[in-house]
Amino acid sequence: MSSPFDWSFPYASRKMPVLAANAVATSQPLAAQAGLRMLLAGGNAVDSAIATAIALTVVEPVMNGIGGDMFALVWHEGRLHGLNSSGCAPAAWTPEYFAGRDAMPGTGWGTVTVPGQVAGWKALSERFGKLPFAKLFEPAIAYAEEGFAVSPTIARQWATQAPKLAQEPGFAEAFLPQGRAPQAGEWWRFPAQARTLREIAESGGDSFYHGALAGRIADFAARTGGALSAADLAEHRPEWVAPISQSFRDYELHEIPPNGQGISALMALGMLERFDLESMGRDSADYYHVSIEAMKLAFADLHHHVADPRHMRTDARALLDPAYLAERAKLISMDRAAVPVAGTPASGGTVYLTTADAGGTMVSFIQSNYHGFGSGVVVPDTGISLHNRGLNFVLTPGHANQVAPRKKPMHTIIPAFVTRGGEPVMAFGVMGGSMQAQGHLQMVTRLAAFGQNPQAMSDAPRFRVEKGPVVNVESHLPADVVDTLRQRGHNVAVAAADSLEFGSAQLICRLPQGGYVAASDSRRDGQAVGF
């Protein structure tokens, strides 16, 4: 049945932030409501975050699934806690396993590392949650069993990804049951995913790593050319980690330490601490130029030095050393774009959500299948779509991030948290591959240098740089800024107005006299809710 509507949105629109004592912000409204239900049921922000995350695997399958990784930062009872639940490479992934290739594959079993996400849900619930673990699954199971209407944004992403993945094991049967992606407004049900979520709920996640679900994943891998084994799954353990941080003005930005890319946001921010952004102006060419240059330098170091911390030849402290960042900042010329190279420090497809409750607990949470539906591999009759995080390994002999058995790849998904004077200020994230770290940089500078509110800092025009020379900018960046950047040597590409390549920000900021202001990115169909 064709839709009765034209699903284009030709007119400028805006969102307003939500001010409330309890809040949830994420990229899909149904998932936000799932988190809100847990708060209304007497749960805390951690319960809310987990329920939101589980629901997102159902209602936003193009960006995440049951078979991904997750990270979280949790402010609870006066302290910030970090959780890294990313998985390792299969034991069979020696460099020889990929012999004859110049780069890691982009899809298929050759990209599937151990999914850490389910174990992360359980670890968070055990340590900080108030509600029974199984209760957190109720909204997601209902959406999978009873169905929901697919939103226009998700329908668009689904249709874009489907042709690339249709031939991967299990994908077409799971996500193209009628030979095509669902259209906007079409009702989507996935009973197999509901059954899997119920089994995870009832087993406390154990089935996924040691039980029946683990067996089904490993058996399917063995039948269809994958290396992932039951032993690989059984080895996974979530890791509680100490966050790393960087000061900017009188704020502190906190990130998960490597193997995550959050350190690149901290490095760039440390460089920008040495520039007078305030006098440049918040939307000036100077502000964009110096931010782009700092991010390019940070990314050069990221891609050279950062990997599984057990295999890095330099540590986070060396990369964040003030003297080192001061030297890196000196490489930034205000009148000319540069080609960055990695420095030598002294030796020594994603969903994001944030929640906060009236008791003061705040959660910054991210999970992902990486690119779109991830690897494209879907375990039959389970709804378990597996990520392609192994793509982030390199095959260069001797590189810190070279693929190896039971090794974690450098990871792009990163939650963020801001404090001031040791007190919580903002839980936030900007999902979208390499956009995440540079999105963090742009949010924090707008907060700390210019005092913008969360919705305004989210709505502001963004830039995105990659490893190459091109600087991508949004269409609402003023033309005179674009012209000035080009005059300084930047290869600027102005994206289409409906581009989805600049991430999706979700932010919850604590108000001085109590409560929160929550904002959801206008670039997606997400929602901030509260009470």
pLDDT in tens, 409-459: 999 999 999 999 999 999 999 998 889 999 999 999 999 999 999 999 999
Q: What is the DSSP string of 30-64?
A: HHHHHHHHHHHTT--HHHHHHHHHHHHHHH-TTT-
Q: How far is 22 from 20, CA to CA, in rounded Å?
A: 5
Q: What are phi and psi of 136, to 5 degrees?
A: -65, -15
Catalytic residues: 350
Query: In Å, what is the CA distance from 279 to each residue of 208, 334, 487, 523?
Result: 54, 14, 21, 29
Structural Rg of the chain based on CA atoms: 22
| Other C-beta atoms lying within 10 Å of the C-beta of residue 336 | 12
- Distance CA(43)–CA(320), nearest Å, equals 37
Q: What is the mean pLDDT of residues 478-506?
A: 94
Three state DSSP letters for 328-386: HHCCCECCECCCCCCCCCCCCCEEEEEEECCCCCEEEEEEECCCCCCCCCEECCCCEEE
Pairing relation of β-strands 350-356 and 23-26?
antiparallel
Calculate the average pLDDT of the chain: 95
Q: Could you count the other beta carbons within 10 Å of the beta carbon of residue 9?
A: 10
pTM of the model: 0.95
Residue with tokens 């944004």: 153
Q: What residue ranges define each of the domains in the chain, with the CATH number in brackets?
A: 18-238+351-392 (no CATH), 241-250+258-348+422-509 (1.10.246.130)
Q: Which helix (H) or strand (E) holds 492?
A: strand 491-494
Which residue from 223, 235, 247, 194 is spatially nearest to 405, judged by alpha carbons? 235
What are 381-423's pLDDT values in tens digits? 999 999 999 999 999 999 999 999 999 999 999 999 999 999 9
Residue 46 tokens, joined: 């951690």
Q: What is the pLDDT of residue 498?
A: 84
Helices and strands in the chain, H and E counts: 18, 21
Q: What is the pLDDT of residue 8?
A: 73
CA distances from 84 to 87, 119, 277, 367 (A): 9, 10, 33, 11
Distance CA(280)–CA(331), nearest Å, equals 19
pLDDT of residue 342: 84
**What whole-number distance in Å separates Cα of residue 375 and Cα of residue 171?**
9
Round to whole Å and give the CA distance between 277 and 445.
Answer: 8
Mean pLDDT, residues 104-123: 97
Two tokens, residue 39: 């708060």
d(CA 251, CA 228): 43
- In the block, residue with structure tokens 């290739």: 101
pLDDT for 7 equals 75
What percentage of the chain reaches a pLDDT higher than 70? 98
Q: Residue 232: is its pLDDT beyond 90?
A: yes
First-to-final CA distance of the chain: 38
- Give residue for tokens 């998700």: 154
pLDDT in tens, 44-76: 999 999 999 999 999 999 999 999 999 999 999
**pLDDT category of residue 1 using cuts at 50, 70 and 90:** very low
Residue 343 has pLDDT above 80, yes or no: yes
Tokens of 88: 């390792």
Among 170, 164, 160, residue whose Cα is nearest residue 192: 170
Task: Reply yes or no on whether the pLDDT at 253 is more than 60.
Answer: yes
Cα–Cα distance between 410 and 309 in angstroms, integer?
9
Residue type, 420: R
Per the CB < 8 A criterion, the answer to whether 531 and 36 are in contact is yes
